[in-house]
Chain A
Amino acid sequence: MHGVGLGLRGAFLAEVAAGAAASAVAFFEVSPENYMRRGGASQRHLEAVASEAPILSHGLAMSLGGVDPFDPAFFRDLRAFLARHPWPWYSDHLCWSRHKGIELHDLLPLPFTEATARRVADRLREAEDRLGRRMLIENISYYAPLGGQMTEVEFIGRVLDLSGCGLLLDVNNVFVNAQNLGFDALEWLKQAPLDRVVQLHVAGHEPWDDATLIDTHGASVRGEVEALLAWTIERVGPLPVLLERDHKIPRLPELLAEVARLQEIYDAALRRYYTREREASI
């Protein structure tokens, strides 16, 4: 399964369940935390969507980089959700979000150190064992670097090497970090372990102030991010690409039009990928 999918959100869940997006997206992605301890209409709507389209699951709250022990009840409920919506992998973020029991509901940065990489890799393997499926980690947007001997891209590569996990590459996060922290996004991608990429995310961002962009998922994907997406697809080949939209959500037809535009970019990049493959094999 590959192509451009859409993050399924409560704002348009009922519409999609009623068939308003039939065949317009390659897949949908949900955050299980929004469903796995819930019932009622949203659960019924999700089942209706799942009967018509692939559903990928992408977590927000595992706190993979945290030092608190994992919550067994959380994993029990997540495993039950994934049994109902099976997919070969499960993704969450390379970050921490809970400490000493306090849930901060944000994706917070990690120090880029060898010790942290080893600790996170251990937790990733534990998460894989608990869930019985492969884990992907997503690179986050972060606004306060916490230091360490490695660069972010080196740190990600180290965690992937130590854990054997895959990478969910968010190209908008790369762009936002590059703007905020003063590096070149394309150079970052050239150094990234693209052979480990299993899925891609794209989204829009907004300014916090004159000096800082925030990964709000509250705007359309910008041209610079689309270019990074195309560059990446041209090198990694067919993969699922997700459009995320969490704030200022427009009407569903507008979102589907953005999915269609991204699909055109994806298709063109994929043609270039196959051309490169043919040329390389000659």
Chain B
Amino acid sequence: MSEDGRIFDAFVAALCDPSAPARMRGDLSGFIGEFGVSGEDAAAIVEGGARRLLMYRTMVQGRVSALIAEFIPQTVARLGQVRYEADVRKFWAGGGSRGVDLIEVAALFIDAVAPRWLVDPAIPAYLVELARYELALCQVRTSAEGGEPASGAALALARPLRFDGALRLLRGSYAVHRCVCAGGEAHEPALAATSLLIYRDREGSMARTLELSERAGEVVARLLAGEAMEAALRGGAAAAGEALSDEMLASMAALLADLSERRIVLGAEVIGLD
């Protein structure tokens, strides 16, 4: 490894390793020596002292912590700042940020903490879902996709649908959308199977949420996965333990008309040469 690479190894450890502050304050020369930094390079770093390196640690971790919190403010408010910052420190210790785009970093953070939060009785059981919902609102609002043209093909049972690209379907166990920005007061979300279709409106480029029934959520999930409409309807009915009835067909027709009006559904997918 190059000399620069060894210096960067030491620097990364100074910024991310939970044990680094104490070790650096105790023996900075020994700390950087662990990474093979020696001679004039080591002397220059030691002369600068641990305080300046630890300033970087505070700045880097603090900046990323603040930016992730901007994407999931309600989650952080419910978690509490002390626990949040402790989780961010663990995130850094585990390899931390691996993307330039901070929305990606926030997604990595949620993936990293989710296994711990889900089994920790001190953490509200809905918090992972709330974090994913808050982040999905940001992802949809800023998505590079979206605004695609309609296919021009009428909906048909044998065909899949074309959807707008700025779209997320979240299926979970809590109505977390009802506890976000509810008059500024914190509400505990109800325990209820929930399907949330998050889309970006064409006028204001705002992220909006449609709550779907469990049955409609199952059908839309299948359609988003590329199933033809008939297969998605039959699969959705079977998953709900129902037959494909006239009532269900009428309900799904109304839903698809609504999604088309909102320009979430852009017609039937055009396949091959037709």
Residues of A within 8 A of B (CB): 33, 37-44, 61, 65-67, 74, 96, 99-106, 108, 110-111, 113, 115-116, 119, 143-148, 208, 212, 214
Whether A208 contacts B55 in the complex (CB less than 8 A), given A33-B100, A39-B146, A40-B146, comes out as yes
CA distance A10 to B41 in the complex (A): 40
A214 neighbours in B (Cβ, 8 Å): 59
**B152 to chain A: closest CB distance in Å?**
22
A96 to B142, CA, bound (A): 27
**What is the CA–CA distance of A145 and B41 in the complex, to the nearest angstrom?**
10
For A112, give the chain B residue with the smallest CB separation: B44
* B145-196 CB contacts (< 8 Å) to partner A: 145-147, 166
- 12 additional contacts (CB under 8 A) given A39-B166, A40-B166, A147-B43: A39-B142, A41-B206, A44-B205, A103-B98, A105-B97, A106-B59, A111-B44, A116-B4, A143-B55, A144-B56, A148-B41, A214-B59
A110 and B3 alpha carbons, distance in the complex (Å): 11
Question: For the complex, what is the distance from the CA of A113 to the CA of B105, rounded to whole Å?
Answer: 33
Name the distance in Å between A173's Cβ and chain B's nearest Cβ.
15
Whether A61 lies near B100 (C-beta < 8 A) is yes
Contact B95 A111 (CB under 8 A): no
Output the least CB separation between A55 and chain B (Å): 18
Q: How far is the CA of A105 from the CA of B9 in the complex (A)?
A: 16
Q: Which 7 A-B pairs have the closest CB atoms?
A: A147-B44, A41-B205, A144-B52, A40-B205, A99-B8, A39-B144, A61-B100
Q: Report the minimal beta-carbon distance from A142 to chain B, rounded to whole angstroms.
A: 9
Q: Which of A40, A115, A145, A212 contacts B200 (CB 8 A)?
A: A40
Give B199-225 as 1s and 0s: 1 = Cβ < 8 Å from A's Cβ atoms: 010001110000000000000000000
Contact of B56 among A43, A66, A74, A108 (CB under 8 A): A108
A44 to B206 Cα, complex, angstroms = 13
Known: A99-B9, A147-B45. A115 touches B4 (CB 8 A): yes
A33 to B100, CA, bound (A): 7
Instruction: Report A17 CB to chain B, min CB distance, Å.
Output: 12
Report the stretch among B11-19, B127-135, B257-265 that lies at the interface.
B11-19
Known contacts: A38-B144, A39-B145, A40-B143. The answer to whether A103 contacts B55 by CB under 8 A is no
Q: What would 16 A/B residue contacts be, using CB atoms closer than 8 Å? A: A37-B144, A38-B144, A40-B142, A40-B205, A41-B204, A96-B8, A99-B12, A101-B95, A102-B97, A111-B41, A111-B44, A143-B55, A144-B48, A144-B56, A146-B44, A212-B55
If the complex has contacts A40-B146, A40-B205, are A102 and B101 also in contact, measured as CB distance less than 8 A?
no
Report chain A residues within 8 Å CB of B96: 102
Contact with A along B14-47 (1 / 0, CB 8 A): 0110000000000000000000000011011101
Nearest residue, chain B, Cβ from A180 = B52
Task: Determine whether the beta carbon of B16 is less than 8 Å from that of A102.
Answer: yes
Residues of B within 8 A of A61 (CB): 100
Q: Is B64 an interface residue (CB 8 A)?
A: yes
Chain B interface: which size bin? 35 or more
Interface contact A67-B8, CB-CB below 8 Å: yes
Closest A-chain residue to B10, C-beta based? A146
A116 to B8: give the CA distance in the assembly, Å: 12
Distance of A115 Cα from B45 Cα, bound (Å)? 18
The answer, among B4, B55, B98, B143, for a CB contact under 8 Å with A119, is B4
Q: Is the CB of B97 within 8 A of A104?
A: yes
**Chain B residues with CB below 8 A from A108, complex form:** 11, 56
In the bound complex, what is the Cα–Cα distance between A119 and B2 (angstroms)?
11
Q: Would you give the shortest CB distance from A159 to chain B, in whole angstroms?
A: 14
| Chain B proximity of A112: nearest CB distance (Å) | 9
Residues on B with C-beta less than 8 A from A208 are: 55
Distance, CA A115 to CA B100, complexed state (A): 27
**Distance between Cα atoms of A72 and B48 in the complex (Å):** 36
Q: Is B60 close to A, CB under 8 A?
A: yes
Give the shortest distance, in Å, between B142 (CB) and chain A (any CB).
5
Given contacts A40-B200, A116-B4, A208-B55, contact A106 B63 (CB under 8 A): yes
Q: A40-B200, A147-B43 are in contact. Are A102 and B95 (CB under 8 A)?
A: yes
Given contacts A38-B142, A38-B143, A39-B142, A115 and B12 within 8 Å (CB-CB): no
Q: How far, in whole Å, are A208 and B141 apart by their CA atoms in the complex?
A: 35
User: A93 CB to closest chain B CB, in angstroms?
Assistant: 14
Contact indicator B105/A103 (Cβ below 8 Å): yes
Of the candidates A33, A65, A102, A147, the one whose C-beta lies within 8 Å of that of B98 is A102
